[in-house]
Amino acid sequence: MREELLAFVSQRGTLLEPAAIEYLLSQSDPLGPLDRFLAACPEVPFVVTLQDVVKAADIGRSVAVRTRAEPLAPPPRPAPAAALLAPVLPVAASFRRQGEPAAQEEPDIRILRDITGRSTCEGTLEDFTRYFRNRFQTVSRMLRGRHEFGGAQDISRARRSTREVRFIGMVSDIRATKNGHRILELEDETDRISVLVLSDSASASETFVMDEVVGVVGKVNDRGLVIAESVVRPDVPGTKPFRGIREHVRAAFLSDIHVGSNTFLAEKWAKLTAWMSSDDEVARSLRYLVVSGDVVDGIGVFPRQDEELAIDDIYAQYEALAKMMAALPDHVSVVMIPGNHDAVRPAEPQPALPVPIQKLFDSNITFAGNPSLVSLHGVKVLAYHGRSMDDFVSTIPGMNYHRPLDAMREMLKMRHLAPIYGGKTPIAPEAEDHLIIDDVPDIFVTGHVHSVGVDTYRGVLLVNSSTWQAQTPYQKMRNIEPLPARLPIVDLATGVAAIKEF
Ligand SMILES: [Fe+2]
């Protein structure tokens, strides 16, 4: 029936959300609700959601027209690989200067920030209150460090003012008006206020997301509504040059290996291993390898995953990975964080892989949580698997899985890795918000989206590391074309990066 259902949607030129597929398959007549829903749509939607088919099944008549207020994200269009891999500064086609053989350099890895061993939350209501208070206060401090918000008022005082006001708040609602303006509801610990962002104002082109913390400059009108002159993000302060080191040692970045999946690219991985162990100047200069999560495919991560597994035991998956890692040359020290497919709690921040799994690996691997701020030879690397990109893609018009660097820039502007609470990214309410980008890194790396890219934003080198998994049936259904087996490599002396394809 699954095949019949997928064939039916493909004939109709649409796609089905995985949750909608599972729901329909549980119905006595899987095609009925779908047919009714599509018949009621003025235009064939790009994706049919669970909500759509549930509604169509419940009503049982042809009125289930999409009622979602927000527009659907534009279809993810596979970008040509060449465009993504074109040398954009600071990406070089190759390194001009030879690297120093990494074996000459002692590894210098320090974990500067990581939740591992420090989790205290139990998920109580008090934990959530404390978590959001910590987020608000920490990001407020960053905004108060900017000259325009040094003297920001509390919202309760700002709402009584008749002059220009400056205040900081957390976004608790966003709505569009009939005339194309937007109203943000902002809260601080004292009060709540509505802010009108006019469609011709300086902030009109900005997209705001729920639960981010912003500063507002504006005027309160006689109905208590603030007319915003500008809405300001904490952002990364000014452009700074890449803070390099003296030695030309290099770091490489990969993620989403998905060992255990029957789409894991074993041959490509063998090529990578052979190259790393070769006499190639760049390979010999590799001192570090940062592995940003989804190192195995896991078990039970998505419905009917067992049909796509070559190794159906989680320990056996990690054992296979441990062997692959042991085959890498000794001069490459590995830092490994988990992702949403790994055997740790799914809620972020995720701690490092559990000790029994760590014991499967040799000593050349440093395990850290997701996210982690790590110093490599003095260069600060913020490694985050990137689950929140699912929320950015579904919330911000124009964002898609082929442009992960756009989402990463937004994260730096918001100084938060996963601002949207209650979306696809589960968040654990720790006493401190570990997802805040407190310390601005030299390199910010993510994975998760199975794409690849390198760029800079205000002096921070952005790296999205590629996957070692071919297109999965789910990606095929969603028309997502991965860019596997590409290795971004960064010279830690200069910040110059190159992407090597295998
Ligand atoms: Fe992932």
Residue 151 falls within a domain, yes or no? yes
Nearest one of 253, 250, 254, 255 to 286, comparing CA atoms: 250
Same domain, 155 and 211: yes
256 alpha carbon to ligand 1 midpoint, in Å? 7
Instruction: Determine the average pLDDT of the residues in 188-202.
Output: 94
339 alpha carbon to ligand 1 midpoint, in Å? 5
pLDDT of residue 69 exceeding 60, the answer is: no
Predicted pLDDT of residue 29? 75
**How many folded domains does the chain comprise?**
3
pLDDT of 457-472, one tens digit each?
Answer: 999 999 999 999 999 9
pLDDT of residue 23 exceeding 80, the answer is: no
Q: What's the rounded Cα separation, in Å, for the pair 471 and 474?
A: 8
CB 305 within 8 A of CB 297: yes
Higher pLDDT, 397 or 10: 397
Q: What's the rounded Cα separation, in Å, for the pair 159 and 193?
A: 7
446 alpha carbon to ligand 1 midpoint, in Å? 10
257 alpha carbon to ligand 1 midpoint, in Å? 10
pLDDT of 106-129, one tens digit each?
Answer: 899 999 999 998 898 888 889 999
CB 258 within 8 A of CB 297: yes
199 alpha carbon to ligand 1 midpoint, in Å? 36
Same domain, 184 and 270: no
Rounded to 10°, the helix 18-25/31-40 angle is 130
Q: What's the rounded Cα separation, in Å, for the pair 15 and 349?
A: 32
Residue 306 falls within a domain, yes or no? yes
Give this prediction's pTM.
0.81
**Which CATH number is 111's domain given?**
3.60.21.50
351 alpha carbon to ligand 1 midpoint, in Å? 15
Write down the residue that tokens 């910590």 correspond to.
134
Residue 156 falls within a domain, yes or no? yes
pLDDT of residue 351 exceeding 50, the answer is: yes
Residue 415 falls within a domain, yes or no? no
499 alpha carbon to ligand 1 midpoint, in Å? 21
The answer for residues whose C-beta is within 8 angstroms of residue 437's C-beta and 6 or more apart is: 382, 411, 412, 415, 416, 417, 444
Q: What's the rounded Cα separation, in Å, for the pair 19 and 168?
A: 38
Instruction: Determine the average pLDDT of the residues in 185-210.
Output: 94
Instruction: Determine the average pLDDT of the residues in 395-413.
Output: 93
* Containing structural domain, residue 470: 99-121+241-379+396-405+448-501
**Which CATH number is 193's domain given?**
2.40.50.140
294 alpha carbon to ligand 1 midpoint, in Å? 5
pLDDT of residue 61 exceeding 90, the answer is: no
Of 179, 202, 232, the position where a domain reaches its end is 232
280 alpha carbon to ligand 1 midpoint, in Å? 31
Same domain, 273 and 206: no
233 alpha carbon to ligand 1 midpoint, in Å? 27
Same domain, 165 and 275: no
214 alpha carbon to ligand 1 midpoint, in Å? 28
Confidence of residue 91 (pLDDT cuts 50, 70, 90): low
Same domain, 213 and 282: no
pLDDT of residue 66 exceeding 60, the answer is: no
169 alpha carbon to ligand 1 midpoint, in Å? 31
Same domain, 259 and 328: yes
402 DSSP assignment: T
pLDDT of residue 4 exceeding 80, the answer is: no
pLDDT of 222-280, one tens digit each?
Answer: 888 999 999 999 999 877 888 889 888 999 999 999 999 999 999 999 999 999 999 99
Same domain, 375 and 477: yes
258 alpha carbon to ligand 1 midpoint, in Å? 9
Predicted pLDDT of residue 123? 82
Residue 228 falls within a domain, yes or no? yes
